[in-house]
Every structure is written in structure tokens, then in C-alpha cells.
Amino acid sequence: MIRAGIVGGTGYTGVELMRFLSRHPEVELAVVTSRTEQGKPVSGIFPSLRGVTDLAFSNPETTALSSCDLVFFATPSATAMHQAPNLLDAGVKVIDLSADFRLRDKDEWERWYGQKHACPDYLSKAVYGLPEVNRAQISQAQLIANPGCYPTVIQLGFLPLLEHDLVETGSLIADAKSGVSGAGRALSQATQFCEAGESFSAYSADGHRHLPEIKQGLSALTPGRIDLVFVPHLLPIIRGIHATLYARLKQPGADIHAIFTSRYAHEPYVDVLPRGAHPDTASVSGSNVCRLSVFQPQGGATVVVLAVEDNLVKGAAGQAIQNMNILYGFDETAGLDHVAIWP
């Protein structure tokens, strides 16, 4: 049994972490912090947790965090980098759900996030927490950078193609759509119901912050230069990401579906659908599953991968729990055996 804490418990990923951890057989959820709601009972802010936890929110500066075995940061970017080093020095393991430790290049991080990194020495120490690629390193880590939601689904979709050197790496396209919960819980005009409902739009077409993270991950899979066009869109739904990925095959003729099926045969949270099937976001809502299908339209030289996930689960909190399970040698599926909500 380990003691866990959460910094930033009032956001969507924070409440998802509490939902999973409160029923995890190997974890005692000991501390949940919130600067704005400190002193208030968790169940008073999130009625869904009534009868599940009797914790109250603490100040983020509480010393109780240092008595935890593991602390999750479910905070906006540029927050964990200020507090995590002290916890790491105290021997506490950290899983950061923000982008503070995902990029290895300090200059790249500062360019995309518009400020100086507070602890650049930790960038090379952090393990990127994509279990399907880095399971061995995760098991030995002290600091885990939990991948972003778009980067998770896009990397899992391209991964078998790059590992088998099947596609031209200089012309990859990721056309991805996310529900409004991906923007977080803070008030924003663009994600208000009257603005986002009954509408569909692209954003950050000239460059999204997740782009360097995706390219960094894909570059580790191939010696070829990665050139990726990534355009995110906002869907008028609460949860879910749907990514349509395009790549040019080097030599059409390989059984792409068989390659995907073989690559993910033993991955508990990647599901390759039967030939001809199309995944949908509702089929993964509330679950830690990334569901994939692959096509080669008209038998041509273009491969199309369809990939869906719940952006708050496999794209955030669920993957963080999966990383925790690997880190502590628990059953990798512990606490994550939630079937998707349907309808």
C-alpha cells in the first residue's frame, strides 16, 4: 500500500485521479490540494465523490505532501516545475500530468511555453510515460512526465508504421479533434456552451504546443526526419479525441492491419479493431482504452489510421494511474478496469 497525493485537485484531471485512486486496491489517497478551495471538503465540490472520500482540500504548500510515496501534479503547465524538485529531493516520486517535463530540450520548451524553465536539469531525468514504448524505464523512474492527450493518441496511431519503417516520415498528417474538457475547467469564452455547442472549428493550425512533444516521441522511433502537420479541432462534446492520421507508404503491399494487431496484441489498453471497423469516441468514454483501426483506401499508397481515446483518461489521469502501476510493480490494470460508459 502506498500513500499518494494530488496537487491541483479541482480540475477535470484532478477529479479523474480521485475517481480512480479512491478505489485502487494498493493506494491510500492521503492529500489533495487546491489553492482556491483549501479547507473545503472534496465531496462539497464534487458531489460524485460523496461517500467515496472524506478528504478536504489542503493548501498546495502543505508539508503533508512530503510524507507521501507518490505525488501527482494535475496542474497547469509551469506549476509543477517549481514544486516538484523539493519533493524529489525528499525521496517522493512524482508523476506530472502537465507539460513541464515532457520536452528534453530546454530551449524548445521555453519557446513554446513563453517563459524560463525553473528546473531544466530535471528535463533529462524525467521518463516519458508512454507505457507502450517506455515500460521498462517507467518501472525505474522517480519523475514521470505523463504524455499529453493529443500526443498519446497520435503516437500510438503512428507507432507501428514507424517501427517497421513502412512510411515516408517527411509527410505525416494528424487531423485531430477533442472535446471541450481538453481545454480544462477554467472559464473561457471559446468553451462556453453557447460558443462551442452546435459548432466545429480548428484552432492553433499554425502550431500547437503539443507538436514538439509529438515530434520528439515519433523521432525516437525512426532515424528519418519527422515532418508532421498537426491540426487540432474543437468538437461540441465533453470527452473524447478522434484522430485521423495519414502517411505515405514506402512500398504498398504490407499487411498493415496484421502489423498493428501484432504490435498491440499484449497491450492492455490499445485495442485494434477488426478490418473495416471504424472507432468512435463514445466507445472509450470513461475508459483507459485507445482504440485503433487502419485502412489503405483503394489499395493505394496512403495509409489512414483512425484512433480514439478519452482525453481525460488514457489521455491524462488513466495513463497516469497506468504509469503508477508499472512504477510500483502493481498489476498494470489495477484500478483501471472501468468499462466505457454507453450510451
Could you give the residue numbers annotated as active site? 149
Q: How far is CA 91 from CA 29, 71, 143, 269, in A?
A: 18, 11, 11, 30
- The grid coordinates of residue 336 equal 483501471
In the chain, what is the greatest distance between 2 CA atoms, to the nearest angstrom? 62
Spell out where 74-208 has E strands.
93-96, 127-128, 143-145, 172-178, 201-202
Pairing relation of β-strands 172-178 and 241-248? antiparallel
If DSSP codes are grouped into helix, strand and coil, which group holds residue 98? coil
Q: How far is CA 173 from CA 119, 154, 167, 259, in A?
A: 33, 10, 12, 20
- Look at the alpha carbons of 94, 289, 182, 208 in this order and tell me if their dihedral is positive or negative: positive
Residues 6 or more apart in contact with residue 208 via CB below 8 angstroms: 150, 230, 232
CA distance 227 to 220: 13
